């Protein structure tokens, strides 16, 4: 039986200090049909020299200015020739033997998305589990745990560049909302990733604002639906930063009142207030 080709796409930018580990974790896989694609955003550090070191083992790479990580990922989609596509960050690592464990013996006919679990490197915490669109509204699946069938991008297109940080969340929501697409959860841990990225205290304002409105107006969720708390909270934080204090405070208070964990959002609010007066790291929005 011919093995499905797996395209592993790494977007990179000034990633010379970490990219080696990501590449090595792929090259160590005991699976014969993997293509590695690296899309670099025009790095000025040692990233290009590192890529050239592995030139013979990289199917395709390019280094040029881009519009951010999701622009790079869309370029990776265009370059990929595999049946399944997996996106890794430059500081992520594949778990040992995971590609063979998933694809060597399991046929995935009539499947559009295979999703699994990940481990947060610096915390040792495992994330993931069986989900659906309703659950996904509240909790995303890390892209490091998802294999997308190449045909899916003809149906849902690629990453929306209007979302600077959470376009992967948007893509997953669109996929899981489409009932004709077949999703399959497998109880494997695909990769380890670091959670200290740009998204920690940077808010994708367009994502949270537009998705909140979409869930209420299109999906007909109640504005009091507890799954929407984070959308209200981060929209509110961004509005405060944009000097729209009244509307921002209203959204933040809404999140505290209508959530499954009011105390959590209360603590986040205190943290945000401290950041405003310089006692905590600043929040920002894009």
Q: Which domains does the chain have, with CATH numbers?
A: 6-199 (3.90.550.10), 201-285 (no CATH)
What is the distance between the alpha carbons of residues 183 and 244, in angstroms, rounded to a whole number? 41
Lowest mean pLDDT among 94-108, 168-182, 201-215, 255-269: 94-108
Query: Helix/strand/coil (H, E, C) string of the chain?
Result: CCCCCEEEEEEECCCCCCHHHHHHHHHCCCCCCEEEEEEECCCCCCHHHHHHHCHHHCCEEEECCCCCHHHHHHHHHHHCCCCEEEECCCCCEECCCHHHHHHCCCCCCCCCEEEEEEEECCCCEEECCCCCHHHHCCCCCCHHHEEEECCHHHHHCCCCCCCCCCHHHHHHHHHHHCCCCCEEEEEEEEEEECCCCHHHCEECHHHHHHHHHHHHHCCCCCCCCHHHHHHHHHHHHHHHHCCCHHHHHHHHHHHHHCCCCHHHHHHHHHHHHHHHCCCCCCCEEC
Q: pLDDT band at 1, cuts 50/70/90? A: low
Strand 84-87 to 6-12 pairing: parallel
Q: pLDDT band at 122, cuts 50/70/90? A: confident
Q: pLDDT band at 45, cuts 50/70/90? A: very high
Q: pLDDT band at 198, cuts 50/70/90? A: low
What the block records as the tokens of 214 is 């979409």
Across residues 48-56, what is the average pLDDT? 97
Strand 34-40 to 183-193 pairing: unpaired
Rounded to 5°, the CA angle 4-60-193 comes to: 75
What the block records as the tokens of 94 is 């594949």
pLDDT of residue 264: 97
CA distances from 78 to 28, 46, 73, 90 (A): 25, 26, 9, 19
Task: Work out whether the CA dihedral 36, 187, 102, 185 comes out positive or negative.
Answer: negative
Q: pLDDT band at 121, cuts 50/70/90? A: confident
The packing angle between helices 167-177 and 205-217, to 10°, is 20
Q: pLDDT band at 195, cuts 50/70/90? A: confident
pLDDT in tens, 8-42: 999 999 999 999 999 999 999 999 999 999 999 99
Q: pLDDT band at 2, cuts 50/70/90? A: confident
Its pTM surpasses 0.85: yes
Q: What are phi and psi of 59, to 5 degrees?
A: -65, -40
What is the distance between the alpha carbons of residues 126 and 207, in angstroms, rounded to a whole number? 25
Q: What percent of the chain has pLDDT over 90?
A: 93
pLDDT of residue 199: 56
Flag whether pLDDT at 248 surpasses 60.
yes
Across residues 97-109, what is the average pLDDT? 91
pLDDT of residue 265: 97
Residues β-bridged to residue 118 = 127, 191
């Amino acid at each position: 039986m011919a093995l499905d080709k797996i395209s592993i796409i790494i977007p990179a930018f000034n990633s010379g200090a970490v990219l080696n580990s990501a590449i090595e974790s792929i090259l160590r896989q005991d699976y014969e049909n993997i293509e590695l694609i690296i899309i670099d955003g025009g790095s000025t550090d040692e990233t290009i020299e590192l890529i050239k070191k592995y030139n013979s083992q990289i199917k395709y790479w390019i280094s040029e200015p881009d519009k951010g990580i999701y622009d790079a990922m869309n370029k990776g989609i265009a370059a990929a020739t595999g049946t399944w596509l997996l996106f890794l960050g430059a500081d992520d690592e594949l778990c040992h033997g995971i590609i063979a464990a998933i694809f060597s013996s399991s046929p995935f006919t009539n499947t559009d998305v295979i999703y699994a679990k990940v481990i947060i490197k610096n915390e040792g915490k495992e994330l993931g589990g069986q989900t659906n669109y309703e659950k996904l509204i509240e909790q995303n699946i890390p892209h490091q745990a998802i294999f997308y069938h190449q045909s899916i991008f003809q149906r849902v297109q690629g990453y929306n560049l209007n979302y600077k940080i959470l376009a992967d969340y948007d893509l997953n929501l669109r996929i899981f909302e489409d009932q004709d697409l077949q999703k399959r959860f497998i109880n494997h841990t695909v990769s380890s990733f670091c959670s200290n990225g740009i998204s920690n205290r940077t808010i994708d304002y367009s994502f949270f604002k537009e998705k909140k409105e979409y869930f209420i107006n299109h999906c007909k969720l109640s504005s009091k639906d507890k799954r929407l708390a984070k959308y209200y909270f981060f929209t509110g934080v961004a509005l405060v930063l944009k000097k729209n204090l009244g509307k921002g405070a209203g959204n933040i208070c809404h999140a505290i009142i209508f959530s499954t964990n009011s105390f959590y959002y209360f603590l986040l609010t205190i943290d945000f207030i401290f950041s405003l007066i310089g006692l905590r790291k600043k929040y920002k929005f894009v």
